[in-house]
Structure 1
Amino acid sequence: MHVRIRDGVTLDLLPTKKFKTIGIKVDFVAPLQATAITARALLAQVLETSTAEYPTQTALARQLSRLYGASFGISVVKLGTKHVIRLTCSVVDEQYLEQYQDTMPLFERGMALLQAVLFAPLLPNGNFDPTTFTQQRQNLLTAIKSLDDDKQYLANRRLQELLFTGQPAQAMSALGDVTTLGELTANDILATYHEMLAHDAVHVAVIGNVSEKRVTTALAAWPLAERLEPTTEPYYRWTARSQVQAGDDEAPVVQAKLNLAYQLPIYRSDADFLPAVVFNAAFGGTPLSLLFTNVREKASLAYYASSDYNPFTGALTVQTGIQAQNQERVIAIVTEQLQALQAGKLSAELLAEVKASLLNARLASLDSPQRQLTGALNSGLTHLQEPLTHWQEKLAQVTVADVQRVAQQVSLQATYCLHGKETGDANETRV
């Protein structure tokens, strides 16, 4: 059920008695701008830790405990041309609590908590608390730096920087960059906060055994003014380069990380979107895929090999863990798998298996409140509301020729290898 609350503010209600909890998600969606990413990420950190009523993380945690172990968090997400500040809260449906005696139901108390976080933050003297601000800036700095400890993440980020050279908003992490972070002040974050409340598109989604009236009544108490409806699409469209960008770095790693990036100019609202999903599943997106079977299992050239398709950026990436001296051989065999699909060499058996795998994954998502809530935003941004039965029928109709047509649009754009010293790599053994 999709409801327009007011201009720029929408509600997706997913009524169900399947779960013993009620999940709430509030997305503040703004255009993706490199100059704003870091400030919005820091704002999320600051808002998550305190409110005027609950001025410390301990006080906020105690309130969550009073709400019978409610969960709460704020995160940031990049989605094509959009940057999202996401608040989530999950509360128990009190009908499953034998001793619940509070006059206000837990859903309304959860909504009241989110209201306090958003509209009554800790602002002594009209600005964010200096101690909280400084601590959360340091915490975000630590979080950004710690991401590089994950060498696969680091390799993928470096690959994105190659792929989107000259486009810092696309190349940058959703958490921002350390240089900008060090320059931000509490005044900057306050301005970002007011900008978010006044101008971001707001998408609210609720899943559980709750009526539309209860949700809209709770939202009516939130001082959300009308704002301009978003006019730009969520898709980042870009022109493929004629020359492949290549990069490599040395790091203290035992296992080299070889990642490749391609353009796949098919987006979520395109007619070939579902064939593109099937192509990715057959190429490297599932354990049944050609990359997993031929690069990892048969050739024993990789510790892992997989692909990922982003329908908001039109990018396809391949991730592999290899011995550095095998880099050229791995690129060659990955290319062979792509060329096979471009030539229509996909067995009916593998096509059926990957389609069954995608269907099972879609059905499994129905058991995850969070995945359903996230799907509501994707549908809202793309204006695509597709019933499961319709999606299932379209999936069944995807043919080898459809996959081949998609594969023929794929073009290699960048390669990146993060590797150790050559002597170290030479001593590795296959696992």
Structure 2
Amino acid sequence: MDVRIKDGVTLDLLPTKQFKTIGIKVDFVTPLRATAITARALLAQVLETSTAAYPTQTALARQLSLMYGASFGITVLKVGTQHIVRLTCSVVDEQTLDAYQDAQPLFERGMALLRAVLFDPLLPHGSFDPTTFTQQRQNLLTAIKSLDDDKQYLANRRLQEILFAGQPTQAMSALGDITTLGELTAADILTTYHDMLAHDAVHVAVIGDVTLDRVTAALAQWPLAPRQVTDQDPYYRWTPQDQLQVGDDLAPVVQAKLNLAYQLPVYRNDADFMAAVVFNALFGGTPLSLLFTNVREKASLAYYASSNYSPFTGTMTVQTGIQAQNQARVQAIIQEQLAAVQAGNIDEQLLTEVQASLLNARLSALDSPQRLLNARLSAQLTHVTMSLDDWTHALQAVTVADVQRVAQRARLQATYCLHGGVDHAE
């Protein structure tokens, strides 16, 4: 159920008695701007920490505990051309509790908590609390740096930087960059806060045993003004480079990380979208895939080998953990697998098994309220919605020829290897 609350503010209600909780998700969405990514990430950290009513993390945690262990969090993410600040809250459906005594139901209390976080932050003297701001800026700095401790994450980020050189909105992490972070002031974050509340598109989604009247009544307590939102193309469309971009770094790692990036210009609203999903799953996206079977299992050249497809950026990336001296052989075998699919050398039985695994994954997602909520943003941004029956039909209709056609559009654009040198490899 998709409802327009006011200009630029929409509600997705997924009424169900399936779960014992009620999940709430609020997305503030705006076009990516390199200058704003870091500030929005820091704002999310500050808002998540305190409100006027709950000025410390301890006070906020105590309130969640009093709400029968409700959960709450704020994250930032990039989806194609858009940057999202996402608030989530999950509360127990008090109808499942034997002795719920409070006059106000837990859903309304959850909505009131989100209202306090968004509209009544800790703003002594009209600006963010200096101690909280400084601490959260340091916490974000630590978080950005610690991400690089995950060497596969680091390799993938550097691959993105090579692939999207000169395009900072795509090259940059959703958390922003350290240099900008060090320059941000509390006044900058306050400006970002007011800008977000006034201008971002707002997508609210709720899942659980709750009526439309209850949700709209709770939202009516939020002082969200109408906003003018133009319908932005969420897809990042880009021109491939004529020359392969290659990156290589030394690091104290035993297991080298070899990542590859392909342009796969098939987007969520394209007719070939489902064929691209199946192609990625068959190529490297599942344990049944060619990369897993032939690079990891048969050739024993990789500790892991997988691929990911993004229908918002038209890219497919391959991630492998290898011995450094095997880089050329691994790249050659990966290319062999792609060439085989491009030539139509696809086992019908494997295709059927991959389609079954994708359907099973989709069905398992129906048991996760969080995944169901998260899927609503994609539907809002793309204006593409499919029932389970339609999705299943589209999946099962994909043929060998469809996968071959999509595979032929994959074009290798960049490679990156993070390694300790051949002499340091196991």
TM-score by length of 1: 0.98
* Residue 313 of structure 1: aligned partner: 313
* Separation (CA, whole Å) in 2 of partners of 1:386 and 1:250: 46
The answer to whether the 8 A contact 1:12-1:204 is kept is yes
Question: Is the CA contact (8 Å cut-off) linking 2:200 and 2:229 kept in structure 1?
Answer: no
1:79 corresponds in structure 2 to 79
The Cα offsets for residues 26-49 of structure 1, whole Å up to 9 and x where unpaired, read as 000010111100000000000000
Is the counterpart of residue 275 in structure 1 residue 264 in structure 2?
no
Cross-structure match for 2:239:
239
Query: Does the 8 A contact of 2:40 with 2:192 survive in 1?
Result: yes
1:359 matches 2:366: no
Give the equivalent residue in structure 2 for 1:13: 13
Structure 2: distance between partners of 1:399 and 1:97: 49
The percent of aligned pairs where both chains have the same amino acid is 77
- Give the residue type in structure 1 aligned to 2:186: A
1: CA distance between counterparts of 2:8 and 2:233?
A: 14
Q: Is the 8 A contact 1:75 1:87 kept in 2?
A: yes
The structural deviation recorded for 1:244 is: 0.5
Contact kept in structure 2, 1:342 and 1:405, CA below 8 Å = yes
- Amino acid of the structure 2 residue aligned with 1:334: I
Residue 229 of structure 1, CA deviation: 2.4
Hey, what does 2:302 align to over in structure 1? 302
Shift of 1:276: 0.1
- C-alpha distance in 2, partners of 1:268/1:345? 26
Is residue 194 from structure 1 mapped to residue 194 from structure 2 by the alignment?
yes
**Aligned counterparts of 2:384 and 2:231: Cα–Cα separation in 1:** 16
2:254 corresponds in structure 1 to 254
Contact 1:12–1:376, Cα closer than 8 Å, also in 2: yes
The corresponding residue for 1:374 is 374
* Structure 1 residues 251-298: Cα deviation after superposition (integer angstroms, max 9, x where no partner): 000000000000000000110000000000000000000000000011
> In the TM superposition, what are the counterparts of 1:40-79 in structure 2 within 5 Å?
40-79=40-79
Counterparts in 2 of 1:106-145, with a 5 A limit? 106-145=106-145
Indicate the residue corresponding to 2:325 in structure 1: 325
Whole-angstrom distance in 2 between the partners of 1:74 and 1:226: 23
Instruction: Tell me which residue corresponds to 2:225.
Output: 225
Paired with 1:217 and 1:139, the residues of 2 have a C-alpha distance of 36
Counterpart position of 1:413: 413
Deviations 1:10-39 (A, max 9, x none): 000001000000000000001011110000
User: How far did residue 232 of structure 1 move?
Assistant: 1.5
The corresponding residue for 2:266 is 266
How far off its partner does 1:422 sit?
2.3
| Superposed counterparts of 1:106-185, under 5 Å | 106-185=106-185
C-alpha separation in 2, matches of 1:303 and 1:9: 46
Contact 1:39 1:192 in 2 (8 A): yes
Unpaired segments ≥5 residues, structure 2? none
Is 1:291–2:286 an aligned residue pair? no
1:80-95 aligned within 5 A: 80-95=80-95
Counterpart of 2:30 in structure 1 is 30
The Cα shift of 1:99 comes to 1.8
Letter in 2 for 1:415: T
Q: Name the SS for the 2:270 alignment partner.
A: coil
Could you list the per-position Cα deviations for residues 187-216 of structure 1 after superposition, in whole angstroms to 9, with x for gaps in the alignment? Answer: 000000000000000000000000000000
The one-letter code of the counterpart of 2:419 is H
How many residues get paired? 426
Once residues 338 and 299 of structure 1 are traced to their aligned partners in structure 2, the CA distance between those partners, rounded to angstroms, is 16
CA distance in 2, matches of 1:5, 1:155: 42
| Counterpart amino acid of residue 74 in structure 2 | I
Structure 1 residue 164 displacement after superposition: 0.2
Contact 1:201 1:230 in 2 (8 A): no
**Secondary structure at 1:241 match in 2:** coil
TM-fit CA distance, 1:231: 2.2
Q: Is the 8 A contact 2:199 2:229 kept in 1?
A: no
User: Matched residues in 1 for 2:112 and 2:271: separation?
Assistant: 42
Instruction: Name the counterpart of 1:215.
Output: 215
C-alpha contact 1:155 1:257 (8 A) present in aligned 2: yes
Distance (whole Å) between structure 1 residues aligned to residue 343 and residue 230 of structure 2: 41
The answer to whether the 8 Å contact 1:260/1:319 transfers is yes
CA deviation after TM superposition for structure 1 residue 134, in Å: 0.1
Counterpart of 1:166 in 2: which secondary structure? Answer: coil
Q: CA deviation at 1:89?
A: 0.1
SS in 1 for 2:302: coil
Equivalent AA in structure 2 for residue 27 of structure 1: D
Q: SS at the partner of 1:303?
A: strand
How far apart, in 2, do the equivalents of 1:170 and 1:225 lie? Answer: 30
Q: CA deviation at 1:98?
A: 1.3
My pick for the range that moved more, 95-104 or 116-125, is 95-104
Structure 1 residue runs without a partner (length 5+):
none
Could you tell me how far apart the structure 1 residues matched to 2:247 and 2:87 are? 37
What is the CA distance between 1:228 and its match in structure 2? 1.2
The secondary structure found in structure 2 opposite 1:181 is helix
Residue in 2 aligned with 1:350? 350
1:315, CA displacement in angstroms? Answer: 0.7
Q: Which runs of 4+ in 1 moved over 4 A?
A: none
Q: Distance in 1 between matches of 2:230 and 2:157?
A: 29
Return 299-308 or 227-236, whichever deviates more.
227-236
CA distance in 2, matches of 1:98, 1:297: 52
SS of residue matched to 2:44: helix
Deviation sequence 1:295-343 (CA, Å, 0-9, x none): 0011111010000000000010000000111111111000000000100
AA aligned opposite 2:381? L
C-alpha distance in 2, partners of 1:153/1:135?
Answer: 25
- Once residues 386 and 6 of structure 2 are traced to their aligned partners in structure 1, the CA distance between those partners, rounded to angstroms, is 24
Deviation at 1:97, TM superposition (A): 1.2
Letter paired with 1:161 = E
Deviation at 1:424, TM superposition (A): 1.3
